[in-house]
Each structure stands twice: as C-alpha cells, then as structure tokens.
Structure 1
C-alpha cells in the first residue's frame, strides 16, 4: 500500500542501496536515494523524510559530520547502517544525533522491525504525552512516580527511577553512555560509566524476569543501552 511517507537512503554500496530501496518501496514508502553525503544533504529539504538510513562509511564525508548536518535540518529518526568494526564512529554518530544502528551484514526483517519501531515512536510523539509505560508484567506510572511488577509495588531509588524514565520514554532509541549520564546524573558525570553499569544491573535485577538475559534493557556493546517493550 503506497503512502505519502518518504525515507531517505544514503548508502554508497549500490547493491545494498538497491536492496534497501526495493524493500522499503514494497512496504509502501516513497524512497529517495543518494550515494554520497553531499548528495543526501541536497536531497533532504525536498524529500522531507520521516526516517533516514545512513551509511557511515561514505567516501566524501565523515559519518559524524554528516549526521550532525542532517540533524541540524531534520528531527526525523536517523538509523545508521554500519560495519561492526566501526564502533568509535558509531558513538560519534550517536553523539551527533543518530537514533539507532543496524550492523552490516543485516537481515531485512531486522531492519524493517527497526523502521516500524521508529514509526510507532513518531506516532506516539504526535499524540498525547505518555504517562504510563507497560512492558512484560511491569507498569511504570510517570505521573504517580510508581512502578509495579506483577501487581506488587517495586521500590526504586530516585536515580534508578530517573534512569528507567529516561530509557522507557525513548523506546527503540539507542542512548549512548554519555547521553544517559548527562540526562540522569548531569554534565559533571560524563566519564562515570561505572555508575551506569551498577544502576542498570539494579534495574534489571528488579524488573527483568531473567536479569542475565534481559528482554527490555538491552546493551549495545561499546555504545550504550536501548529499551524495548
């Protein structure tokens, strides 16, 4: 089913680009494509995409610089399509404003699931602000400042609650270590990643059915964390 929603693909590998364009078009999206960063920047205003897929390994621009320039012009989600060995570049891209990443080689079902998650999040942002978040047997009430698991109240420290709120209101979005530390602890704590590890372990212990195999509080190795319902 054709929609008016547009996705911009910036990818220099012609085979991957063709695969992305054909798959997204089959899902009903209008797809604009670019093989270079500068070309993508030129297409962006007219395309007005609801989502962007961006390769970090473009020949004409640094990945972080490209994401920063894209983010200055759009609030649409930016999903990085990147090789596994480029973790430092991924972190720089997230700090520049990227929302998510898919590692090459990737399966199209995984990519489409990420796209759908960001479309749901986009729809939610256009609706009333979220006050209650449910996942598994957990209910988080942001107005009442309460957390229940299986119908029983769960005690969280103020820091644990702030971390949970930050993650739960950014469903599907990768939050870097520095972003979480800034939002939960403040700018003076950007290098205190051990704080984050300790409190994430506490959240998983209190809210995950199996803390050693978390379903909701996911680690993105070397980058940060992602919350999923």
Structure 2
C-alpha cells in the first residue's frame, strides 16, 4: 500500500502566494489542505510577513497540535525572528520548488526526531531529554539515553552493536567499539532493572546484537547488524 503524502496547512493572507505555494507543494508530492483546521495536517507552512503576534500564535497553535512549522521569510533577519517566534525551519523566498520541498521535508524530519518514543511502560521524550519507566524517571547519561532511544525505536527487533555504536557515539565500527557497547548496555540494563524489573528487558542476542522487549513481547528476527 502506498504511503499517504504529508499534508500541509498553509497560513497566509496573500491569496496569490497561497496559490503559488499550493501548486509547488502539490508538484513536490505533498497534500495541501483547504480548510483552516490543523486536525489532518502533518506540517504547517506560515507566511513570515504576518504580524509578529499572529506569527507567534500560529507557531504556538501548531506546536500545541505537535506539528512542525516551516516559515517563509524574505530575509535572513526575518528568518531569525521566525525561529525565535517558534518556527522549526525556514525558507528564504522566492525560492525554487526543490528548495521548498527540501525545507519542508527537513521540518518534518525535525518533528519525527522530537516525537516521544513509547515501548510498553517505557516512554522517552527526546525534546526534553527525559526517560521514564512505569512512571519512574531514569537517570541516564547522554550515551545511555541515545542507546535506550535506539533500542526503544526498534523495540522487538535486534539491533547490531555497529548500529548502536553509530547512534550513541556517532562513529563507525572501531577497535574496541564492541566492548564499549557491551559495557554501556550492562550499565543501562542495571538501571532499567532497578527502576521496574518486569516492565522492559534488554536482551543480548548472541551473535546478532541487542533487543529491547516490552513486557512479554517475544523477540523478532534480527533487522540491523
């Protein structure tokens, strides 16, 4: 089944600009909503020429609905003001359709990176850099937080040590890398077990990697080595 295109809500008082933007976004493979509601939107594109109070209100409304905001600015200074008002990404206009598409997809990527990760009783909030297990906060180092986020994002699947090394340390396989991962997983596992022993388990899958199992969910075949 084909994935539905991301849906965009345009907020601008310029009718001509709206028509041009809608055409460019449709050509780039996005859906454009016609009504004022944000309920079905995946991304909000805001005209940076709006009065500051309206711009800030539009950003606040979008973020309240957990939606990213792409602001259209006519200058770098206006873009800085838009980011300060709450925009997640900006595009300097006029710009090409390709540039508009790139900026829109970057805004969507930022939103996915900030989205909470939930695996059973484990909840990770990347935006706040917080993790809780069965309602109890986990005191994690930055490396442990990245490791747990990677495992939770792939809950039920085996993640290879090389992938964990890339995610937690931002390096490719290196001498001693496997041992670094093993030691950090050991410490992370102890913290998780102390918080709620039966809520989630971090399993070592011999010869494959590590797997986070939520509750009694059975392991799945390796997906990442």
TM-score, structure 2 normalization? 0.46
